[in-house]
Amino acid sequence: MMLDVTAAFTAVLQTVRDTGTERVSFESATGRILREPVLADRPFPPFDRVTMDGIAIRYDSYARGQQIFVVEDIQAAGTPQLQLSNLANCMEVMTGAVLPELTDTVIPYEHLDASEHEGFRRFTVNQPVRKGQNIHKKGSDVKADTVLLSPGALLGPAEAGVLATVGKTQVQVARLPRVAVISTGDELVPVSATPETHQLRMSNVYSLGASLQQMGINARRVHLEDNAAEMVNTLRSLLYETDVWISSGAVSAGKYDYLPAVLQQLGMRQVFHKVKQRPGKPFLFGTFNNGPVVFALPGNPVSGFMCFYRYVQPWLQAAMGAAPQQPAYAVLAEKVHFDAPLEYYLPVKLQSQPNGKMLAFPQPYQGSGDLASLLHADAFITLPAEKALFKKGEIYPVWKFR
Ligand code: AMP
Ligand code: MG
């Protein structure tokens, strides 16, 4: 029986296996999935931090009417905390410095007139002063031992800054799965070749490879000719060296679509073959005991592309322990008619509006072989199988690939 998309997706996620973890330098952790909590090793900020260049005073003196402050010393950033010895004086302070002991308020140079009197530098206040101004209080952003990052976080630029701040030079991240992308078909020639009229350059393995590369995964590439015995041999040699296979083609009803039988011969447990979706109906999925999970995607380029983002990427993210992603939605910007009893994945261009709404514009699309249509799209909008007419203004889920 053919599964619907929801059932197929559930079945795919039930096979998720943990890829395990490894420790890497925080500098090479960008794009990886964190697998340990990261705590604040000390308060943020770690001391009462001066936020303006100027002077630090004791507010009481100002409150009593004092306007002129004699400079005692300078507290620069990166120097140990000084102490004001005469409470009626001030300390010059620089942004990033520790607030001097016995001071509690910082007045910026912009609110001061500088002068000199009997060899002493002094400042006269020319603007109202608020007690405690221009100080970033110790621990006001984050208390020590707060969990800053939880397992499952995707490490990006904001996370890199936090890892650096807490001195986390080595970080535990998900191990990247070993993936093989497998092309099939006698019509395919290498990219560097000049194809004969009846031949094509293999493209699917490169778009799949690029999708994986964006997740930090460098897949190996394998090509299979339409020859069942050779397919068995080549795939058998891959069984123990890979965690995931993503193949393209040879799973439909053609005379030379040997892959389902070949996978069965190798001992794969088939989870399903065919899903009520367009494109991508011939999608076959299975697992080997102590061997790879197999995403046997249809050969038509848009089909394989859509299946990658709908099934493969969520599986890989879950296997690496990534926090689940929020579903995205968009407003259909033009009406669509599609009456096959299949969930329809239509390439759309997303455009966010000044009113905050995301519009999805269906792109000219000649069907699942139309690989160039993806150049003008950012996502697939998902139109449910139960309906045939989809009106402008209706809201549907989108699966983004850009
Ligand atoms: P198949 O599922 O093997 O019948 O392939 C369906 C269509 O996709 C055929 O037109 C194939 O030539 C094409 N195709 C299959 N694999 C690839 C690939 N790796 N790159 C480009 N086109 C492919
Ligand atoms: Mg083929």
Mean pLDDT calculated for residue range 232-251:
97
Task: Give the pLDDT confidence of 290-306 residue by residue, as tens digits.
Answer: 999 999 999 999 999 99
Tens of pLDDT, residues 329-342: 999 999 999 999 99
Residues flanking ion ligand 2, Cβ below 5 Å: 185, 249-250
Nearest CA to ligand 1 atom 23: 299
Q: What is the chain's length?
A: 402
pLDDT of residue 197: 97
SS3 241: coil
pLDDT at 395: 98
CA distances from 233 to 215, 224, 236, 308, 328 (A): 30, 10, 5, 26, 42
Ligand nearest to the CA of 189: 1
Task: Note the pLDDT tens digit of each residue in 209-218.
Answer: 999 999 999 9
Mean pLDDT, residues 386-391 taken together: 97
CA dist 127 to 65, 71, 156, 358, Å?
13, 18, 43, 47
pLDDT for 58: 98
- Average pLDDT on 14-35 reads 98
Phi-psi region of 6 (alpha: psi -120 to 50; beta: other; left: phi over 0): alpha
Pick left, alpha or beta for residue 44 (phi over 0 → left; psi -120 to 50 → alpha; otherwise beta).
beta
pLDDT in tens, 198-209: 999 999 999 999
What dihedral do alpha carbons 130, 131, 137, 138 form, nearest 10°?
Answer: 170
Is the pLDDT reported for residue 1 higher than 80? no
Predicted local distance difference test score (pLDDT) of residue 370: 94
pLDDT (tens digit per residue) in 350-363: 999 999 999 999 99
Q: What is the DSSP string of 192-215?
A: TS---TT-EE--HHHHHHHHHHTT
Q: Please write the tens of the pLDDT for every residue from 132-163.
A: 999 999 999 999 999 999 999 999 999 999 99
Rounded Cα distance between 222 and 237, Å, is 11
Q: Which residues pair with 8 in a beta bridge?
A: none
Nearest CA to ligand 1 atom 17: 299
Measured CA to CA, the distance from residue 8 to residue 275 in angstroms comes to: 7
Closest ligand 1 atom to the C-alpha of 251?
2
Average pLDDT score over residue span 241-257: 97
pLDDT tens-digit series, residues 41-99: 999 999 999 999 999 999 999 999 999 999 999 999 999 999 999 999 999 999 999 99
Farthest CA pair distance, the chain: 102
Q: What are the pocket residues of ligand 1 if the criterion is a CB atom closer than 6 Å to any ligand atom?
A: 183-185, 187-188, 200, 202-205, 248-250, 252, 254, 298-301
